[in-house]
């Protein structure tokens, strides 16, 4: 499995509130749907603070359709539980 993990502006946020980085997002989505070739988390260019948006690209249509059909992913990290669309 050869995946490319990257982020727009930075791969890790400087603040503790950033629960997931692009690598973790890619790994979660690849485990659920397979075929992840890109994952990014949008950050403010000056503050390097996450904007609350990210993106994942898939290398095949089957993985893409599976992810779109699911409509959301429930992410859990410690006491934090997020539903991501």
pLDDT, tens digit, for every residue of 16-72?
A: 445 577 888 888 899 999 999 998 888 888 887 888 888 899 999 999 999 999 998
pLDDT at residue 3 in the model: 47
Q: Across residues 8-14, what is the average pLDDT?
A: 43
Task: Classify domain 22-84 at the CATH topology level.
Answer: Alpha-Beta Plaits (3.30.70)
Predicted TM-score (pTM) of this structure: 0.72
Helix (H, G, I), strand (E, B), or coil: what is residue 63?
helix
pLDDT at residue 1 in the model: 40
Domain boundaries, the chain: 22-84
Provide the 8-state DSSP code for 14: S
Structure tokens at 64: 């893409």
Q: Which of 7-11, 12-16, 56-60, 80-84 has the lowest mean pLDDT?
A: 7-11
Backbone torsion region of residue 51, taken as left when φ is above 0, otherwise alpha when ψ lies between -120 and 50, otherwise beta: alpha
């Amino acid at each position: 499995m050869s995946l490319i993990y990257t982020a727009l502006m930075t791969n890790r946020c400087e603040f503790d509130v950033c629960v997931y980085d692009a690598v973790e997002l890619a790994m979660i989505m690849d485990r659920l749907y397979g075929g992840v070739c890109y994952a990014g988390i949008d950050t403010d260019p000056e503050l390097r603070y996450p904007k609350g948006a990210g993106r994942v690209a898939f290398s095949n249509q089957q993985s893409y359709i599976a992810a779109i059909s699911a409509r959301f992913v429930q992410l859990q990290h410690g006491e934090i539980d997020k539903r991501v669309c």
